[in-house]
Structure 1
Amino acid sequence: MHAETLGPLRRPASRWLSLALVLPLSLTLLLHPVLLLDSRGQYSHGVLMLMLWGIAAGYVHGVGFDPQARAWRLVFHPLLAWSLMALAYAALLTP
């Protein structure tokens, strides 16, 4: 199927964007999780859960998987993934 006939969120450029956003986050969590500690030296489990949800949704969208069920489409929607990944980047960049 040609990219012109796909919706803007199903085009290869948006899928590459998802992968470009998710790879540094997942590598950070894997290789240097200390960056996620707060000022008290603890993890914020709520932020971590949302971050992992964004990473999972980013991978689902980035590799080209399109869920058929409405519930899964909402859970793994790319706009939700990008929003959660933005939250993750904000959490990583704030001291």
Structure 2
Amino acid sequence: MQTPPVTPEFLTQPWTRVISWLLATPMCLLLLVHPSAMLDSSGSYSHSLLMFVMLGVSGGFIHGVGFHPRHIIWKLLFHPLLAWLLMLLGYGLWLYATRS
């Protein structure tokens, strides 16, 4: 018996993979090269929120390179829409940190 697809059809289009790649790459470089950019005015950051941002970056790269997880847990954990939301959370945290 086949399990129903978790990913909507439009997320298999090449342009959505480009969006994932373009969202993931700058955030990854920001976190690896200049992690202090995520600090707020008090010099702290939320470890738990950054963990979710890194999960989003991972999902963005997984979708961006065209990898298709087989198991339902991995499909849900690295779903492109979830990855986009988590990466947008990361960009929001970065904007908040730069403005405070």
TM-score w.r.t. length of structure 2: 0.85
- Identity rate of aligned residues, in percent? 47
Per-residue CA deviation, residues 36-88 of structure 1 (Å, 9 max, x unaligned), is 11222122101110110100010010000011111110000000000000100
Q: CA deviation at 1:31?
A: 1.2
TM-score w.r.t. length of structure 1: 0.89
Q: What are the ranges of 5 or more consecutive residues in structure 1 without an aligned counterpart? A: 1-5
- The number of residues matched between the two structures is 90
Which among 8, 11, 15 is matched to residue 13 of structure 1?
15
- Cα RMSD, aligned residues only: 1.2
Spell out structure 1 runs of 4+ moving beyond 4 A.
none
Equivalent-residue separation in structure 1 for 2:35 and 2:84 (angstroms)? 21
Residue identity opposite 1:47 in structure 2:
L
Residue identity opposite 1:10 in structure 2:
T
**Could you tell me which residue of structure 1 aligns to residue 47 of structure 2?**
45
Q: What are the ranges of 5 or more consecutive residues in structure 2 without an aligned counterpart? A: 1-7
Question: Is residue 33 of structure 1 aligned with residue 35 of structure 2?
Answer: yes
